Amino acid sequence: MKINNSKNSVEALLVLAGIKINGVNPWDVRVHNDKFYRRVLSLGSLGLGEAYMDGWWDCERLDEFFFRVLREDLSKKIRLDWRTLLEIALAKIVNRQSKKRAFHVGERHYDLGNDLYEAMLDKRMIYSCAYWKDAQTLDEAQEAKLDLICRKIGLEPGMEILDIGCGWAGFAKYAAEKYRVEVTGVTVSKEQEEFGKNLCKGLPVKIRLQDYREVNGNYDRIVSVGMFEHVGYKNYKNFMNVANRCLRNGGLFLLQTNGMNESVTSTDLWLNKYIFPNSMLPSIKQLGKACEELFIVEDLHNLSSHYDKTLLVWHQNFEKNWDKIKSNYNERFYRMWKYYLLMCAGAFRARKNQLWQIVLSKKSVVGGYYSIR
């Protein structure tokens, strides 16, 4: 395909979303390498992201660019090459979230370096959507989210809590200190395990390097915040079976997860390659099927707009603190991370991605469950 034909095709696609090549709006793109056009048409989102990482194009407001691209479903208007289609097909066959692969995402993403996450996140190192209802700062919004979770599952002193995918143990520490409960947290990240153990010294908190499939014991409450995205559709039922096995009768399980409006069996190829290997977002249909005969859905709370704002603040913090940490990374990583944060912000703004907090009960709540906001 000649460059002129490729350029015309890309320009025609972008016009549908109100985006121009070398236009004057902050969401317009500036192309520095004419090979950009063919790369995008053959590789789709993977080509678009890699071209940005390589400096082939720029955009003043990436979040607004993606908001417009995703709102118009431009990706569905591109005919991808055979290699890209093969990658998507393989995701339906191979269990990329198998037990054997469980620690890949920890090594590739969460173990990148605590300096990166300390520069970007709040003081508690919470790497999931914040709750901005009455908050002005990221610290306030993340604490509000933690307290919202605790209130939704009715924590009481002495309860035993399981945190599946505990991150840097921010929830475990908060719940143990404020609600006087015992917490067991599991993670597939060595950096998170070490950080969490140091953070929670002296508290009734245990942090384990462990895949969710290996978890045993009985708990009064279970939480899983921002981890289900790594489970994969072939394992959704198994995950729910584990949670059901570990939750005592009458107990509550709060699941916070990103989600999709439609059921998929693969993820964005660029995100899979560079950010979250083997990740996948569930649909309500897939979640419902996984919960059948195991849990009652007591409450579903959509917090998507809160994630748009959270990601923008993370990006602001990343930019503000980049000079402090850039000696440990490089310019291509900087462009990759910026692209990741702002692409996701645009996806939530366009409502292509959702963020749900779901309260599940085992053997129901006597008298009914009252939603808390």
Enumerate residues 6+ apart whose C-beta is below 8 A from 124: 139, 142, 143, 146, 168, 170, 173, 174
Nearest Cα to Cα of residue 347 among 311, 302, 316, 301: 311
| 246 carries an active-site annotation | no
Location of structure tokens 């995701």: 91
How many DSSP H helices and E strands does the chain contain?
Answer: 14, 9
What 8-state DSSP symbol labels residue 19?
-
- Burial of residue 160, with CB atoms counted within 10 A of its CB: 0-12 exposed, 13-18 middle, 19 or more buried: middle
Q: In the 8-state DSSP scheme, what is residue 75?
A: G
- Which member of 129, 200, 291, 344 is catalytic? 344
Token couple for 31 = 């192309």
Tokens 């996948």 appear where?
280
Reported in sequence order, the residue ranges of 36-192 that DSSP labels E, i.e. its strands, are: 57-59, 160-164, 182-187
**Angle at the Cα of 346 from the Cα atoms of 343 and 347, rounded to 5 degrees:** 85
Strands 247-260 and 219-225: parallel
Single-letter code of the amino acid located at 265: T
Task: Say how many CA atoms lie within 13 Å of 201 toward its Cβ.
Answer: 4
Catalytic residue annotation: 344
